[in-house]
Structure 1
Amino acid sequence: MRIKLVYDNTTIREDLQSDWGFAAVVETGSRNILFDAGADGDILLSNMQKMELDPAQIDTVFISHHHFDHTGGLAAFLAKNNRVALWVPESLRGVRNAASVNHVSEATAIDHNIFSTGELKGIEQALIIQTDKGTVLLVGCSHPGLGAIMKAAEPYGDIYAVVGGYHGFRQFELLKDVQKISPTHCTQVIDALRTLYPEKYIAGGVGTVIDF
């Protein structure tokens, strides 16, 4: 399984553009998933092109929550490829240009090893992927609280990695048993997490590729 960061506040390559927002392409072997869509469609599609990621190869789009920095690029992406299954929180309405639009309220299976936590606290869902190493958890901004998201993911196995935005996160002990962390985007405590958990820490930024 591989996660490629295509939209983030920082970049690791000069030819890729950073911007406030988040998006990642997740390659599981059975599905190619666009997780969130950043704030700007032109930036999203340009970064994907430069990372040799063809929008036509994406079969699933998963939107964590409705905020502009996670949905702003969605229309531009769907203009390139609307033959996708779109999974959005129950509260996100008005999206129609997709092969199927799935509004998620409760924990839901997307594939045999891919799940949504369901919409938590009326704002956000997270993506759960079961791997041989454990569960990989992708989060947009963690507005419900990372602790609440991790608790929702517990039934799917031990959490091996948490990738994405840890907005408002301060409960560092929650990550003591997690093997890999990649705090990105809106995480205010990236430096503290890198110092506290150097053996777990994976730096983010557009262009980052994480293999599990």
Structure 2
Amino acid sequence: MKVKKFILVIIVILLIIALFGIKIKMQKVAELGQGEEIGIDKEITKVKNVSITTIYDNYQYNPGLKTGWGFSCLVKTENITLLFDTGGDSETLLSNMEKLKILPSEVDIIVLSHIHGDHTGGLKGFLEKNSKVKVYLPKSFPSSFKTDVESEGATAIDVHEPIEIEKGTYTTGELGVLIKEQSLIINTEKGIIVITGCAHPGIVNIVRKAKEITNENIYLVLGGFHLGGVSDSNLKIIIADFRKLGVEKVAPCHCSGDRCRELFKEEYKDNFISNGVGKIIEI
């Protein structure tokens, strides 16, 4: 009899702990208000207009702008102005923004793809110009990085699962094993745009995940494909995978590699976009 009572007490205690944990998590989500740890469990929304400007890249499009090893682009929709990655240094980033007549104060949100310096190096200098932003970063980032972001006055938001950042704009959530990375998804009337920083988890894996999350056609894949030095045979397999996934247009830059860009251009022809610093894509 005593054993049964003891077991019953243990069960009650475990139930109380479980319910308390659920309550705390729900409270945390309510207080946060930005969707930390929340998957996309509602209808996927779309944007009507989007403009993407490559602000920082090692490939040049506009000869009047500085190049540098890294990547950053500005995404503008009718809902938000978002900076995806910040390049390798703030001097180049801010100089190019000024020449492109983009004010730091226009930016509402920053999304960082992964921890490497050629994608996060311009952040500190940018926050000195505008700290009133939300910075969405992979949950795997060191706590010291998040502390530094918040010490500048910005709001750091951990991302692990796919979430909706704003209407029609999503993150894939953290992908990969050794190097965790998130990519950006913008859902347009023409299909989704997938923007990658360095594609460490594999460019095909990222594109496939984006399609799985949204269940939408893929209009454009843009950014670093991480294919420098990859053999022609493997590049052709990747290009074939893009075709199988229904990717309509491509705009590789940064770490994609010259040969990658050449072969994608051969395959995609007019649907290949020569991307580099200063390129503006409007949809």
TM-score, structure 1 normalization: 0.96
Structure in which a larger fraction of residues adopt strand? 1
The match for 1:106 is 161
Candidates 163, 187, 204, aligned match of 2:256: 187
Runs (5+) with no aligned partner, structure 1: none
> 1:98 offset after TM fit, Å?
4.4
Task: Give the corresponding residue for 1:132.
Answer: 189
RMSD across aligned positions (CA)? 1.2
**Structure 2 gaps, min length 5:** 1-49
- Secondary structure of 1:199's counterpart equals helix
AA aligned to 2:270 is E
Q: Which residue of 1 aligns with 2:131?
A: 82
Structure 2 counterpart of 1:52, from 98, 101, 109 = 101
- When you count helix as a share of all residues, which structure comes out higher? 2
Among 75, 78, 94, the alignment partner of 1:26 is 75
CA distances 1:42-93 after superposition (whole Å, capped 9, x unpaired): 0000000000000000000000001110000010001100100110011113
1:91 to 135, 140, 144: 140
SS of match in other structure, 1:203: coil
Work out the CA distance in 1 between the residues paired with 2:111 and 2:61: 24
Which residue, out of 59, 62, 85, partners 1:10? 59
- Native 8 Å contact 2:204 2:242 kept in 1: no
Residue type of the alignment partner of 2:198? C
**Amino acid aligned to 1:131:** T
Q: Which residue of 1 aligns with 2:19?
A: none
Native 8 Å contact 2:249 2:268 kept in 1:
no
Whole-angstrom distance in 1 between the partners of 2:171 and 2:158: 11
CA distances 1:174-210 after superposition (whole Å, capped 9, x unpaired) = 2212111100000021111111211210001111000
Name the residue aligned to 1:144: 201
Q: Which moved more, 1:153-162 or 1:59-68?
A: 153-162
One of 113, 118, 121 as aligned partner of 2:176: 121
Which residue of 2 is the match for residue 73 of structure 1? 122
Structure showing greater Rg: 2
Provide the rounded CA distance (Å) in 1 between the counterparts of 2:103 and 2:273.
25
Name the TM-score, length of structure 2 as normaliser.
0.73
